[in-house]
Structure 1
Amino acid sequence: MRRYNDSRPTRHDFYHSTVWRKARGRYKRLHPLCEECERRGRVVPADVVHHKVEIALGGDPLSFDNLESLCHSCHNKIHREGALKTPRGGG
């Protein structure tokens, strides 16, 4: 019998690590609202912590400068548009 996670690329293992879960929790406590929605003047709770620059493309996996809190809608839009290769946000 094959387990679900056995079919996932090993690069996804990081997202199940204790170090990521702790960093994600700290970041989300500091940024509980969707940062993209905030830039547009909306107040929406964040659902995920997103890497602005993919780890696979050289983005620092734990640097708060490379993270942003997003709602599911904004996160899905970013992935749909393929915007991962371009750093997001201001400074």
Structure 2
Amino acid sequence: MDKSKLIEMTARRQAERAAGGQLGTDEVGRVLDTLFGTVEHAGTIAEVLKAQETVTLGSFGSFHVADGTAAFRPGKALTEYLRDQTG
């Protein structure tokens, strides 16, 4: 899945669950760019990792630095969800 499809799917899912206002694809795209960054600007996650901190996203998982590179450690909920989908 490329970035544009991820943005579209996220906006659609958010609209399905929204109790109030909806986010459009432009807003979702800006949020993803802010979190993950673009070629021109580092994202929030990259800035935190550069400061040698860990970004923990609940039971989804965490981003951390290992041997000078970014690494992702899946959390329990993600691991169990994927296990249930393939098992």
Which structure has the larger Rg over C-alpha atoms? Answer: 2
TM-score scaled to structure 1, two decimals? 0.29
TM-score scaled to structure 2, two decimals? 0.30
User: Whose relative contact order is higher, 1 or 2, with alpha carbons under 8 Å and at least 6 apart?
Assistant: 1
More strand, by proportion: 2
